[in-house]
């Protein structure tokens, strides 16, 4: 049984998707937030999952916060730490501490559009496809080995809100899949490439255009 700690900052919809997937061999040991009012904490508690808050505003600097966060995480002895909408940039020391067992979901087809405001930037760039990526976390922001991606079309008339919603639906598909592969010991890291045994090459889900289009 693999022990998993999930970190959130808000409503936790990706955390909820992982919990609802009920992945065999996985136990969600805890959900931890840096914000006391994160909506996802209530959902986790209702499922009987331990919850905790490590409020980043209570610490003098990023290193002090990361040390307190790591202490809270390590109390659950996790095999995997999942960043599910955790809106903090983590220090290199923190990332090294969880090397190979820290994953994140990013709302773009990495390596394109690292950082924030990805949907707005995709629309401004005029790309024809957009999407989301689950990847291992490294010290370099949004640059770790890619586990799986989902591709969505950018439709004529798309707004930031409509594109966000379509990408989020795919996040809810691929994040549980990535966690499942890791729990099944099917993912290995080869340099900066994550290889998934038995998943085909590459790990990609393609979302068709809406039927109404």
The domain in which residue 167 lies consists of 105-213
Do 151 and 191 share a domain, yes or no?
yes
Q: In this structure, what token pair is assigned to residue 1?
A: 């049984």
Query: What whole-number distance in Å separates Cα of residue 80 and Cα of residue 155?
Result: 36
- With bands split at pLDDT 50, 70 and 90, how would you rate the model's confidence at 195? very high
Do 113 and 212 share a domain, yes or no?
yes
Q: Indicate if the pLDDT at residue 213 is higher than 90.
A: no
Do 111 and 211 share a domain, yes or no?
yes
- Catalytic residue (choose from 56, 106, 119, 172): 106
pLDDT in tens, 115-159: 999 999 999 999 999 999 999 999 999 999 999 999 999 999 999
Give me the mean pLDDT over the 53-65 stretch.
Answer: 97
Query: What whole-number distance in Å separates Cα of residue 115 and Cα of residue 118?
Result: 7
Can the peptide bond before residue 23 be classed as cis, meaning omega within 30 degrees of 0?
no
Q: Write down the pLDDT at residue 198.
A: 79
| Contact indicator for 134, 203 with CB cutoff of 8 Å | no
| Contact indicator for 103, 147 with CB cutoff of 8 Å | yes
Q: Is 80 helix (H, G, I), strand (E, B) or coil?
A: strand
**106 in catalytic set:** yes
User: Please, is 166 exposed, middle or buried when counting C-beta atoms within 10 Å of its C-beta (0-12, 13-18, 19+)?
Assistant: buried
pTM (2 d.p.)? 0.94
pLDDT in tens, 74-96: 999 999 999 999 999 999 999 99
Among 39, 69, 98, give the residue marking a domain's end. 98
Rg (CA), the chain: 17
Look at 203 and 21; give whichever has higher pLDDT. 21
Q: Indicate if the pLDDT at residue 192 is higher than 50.
A: yes
Q: Write down the pLDDT at residue 207.
A: 60
CATH number where 68 lies: 3.40.50.170
pLDDT above 70 covers what percent of the chain?
93
The total number of structural domains in the chain stands at 2
Among 67, 98, 129, give the residue marking a domain's end. 98
């Amino acid at each position: 049984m693999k022990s998993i700690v999930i970190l959130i900052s808000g409503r936790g919809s990706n955390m909820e998707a992982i919990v609802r997937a009920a992945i065999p061999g996985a136990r969600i040991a805890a959900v931890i937030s840096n914000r006391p009012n994160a909506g996802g904490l209530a959902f986790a508690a209702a499922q009987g999952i331990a919850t905790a808050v490590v409020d980043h505003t209570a610490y003098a600097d990023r290193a002090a916060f990361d040390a307190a966060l790591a202490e809270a995480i390590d109390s659950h002895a996790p095999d995997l730490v999942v960043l599910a909408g955790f809106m903090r940039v983590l220090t290199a020391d923190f990332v090294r501490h969880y090397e190979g067992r820290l994953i994140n979901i990013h709302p773009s087809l990495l390596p394109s559009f690292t950082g924030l405001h990805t949907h707005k930037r995709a629309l401004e760039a005029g790309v024809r496809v957009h999407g989301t990526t689950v990847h291992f976390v490294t010290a370099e922001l949004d640059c770790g080995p890619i586990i799986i991606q989902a591709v969505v079309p950018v439709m004529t008339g798309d707004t930031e809100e409509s594109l966000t919603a379509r990408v989020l639906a795919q996040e809810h598909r691929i994040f549980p899949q990535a966690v499942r592969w890791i729990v099944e010991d099917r993912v290995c890291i080869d340099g900066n490439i994550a290889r998934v045994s038995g998943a085909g090459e590459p790990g990609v889900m393609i979302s068709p255009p809406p039927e109404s289009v």
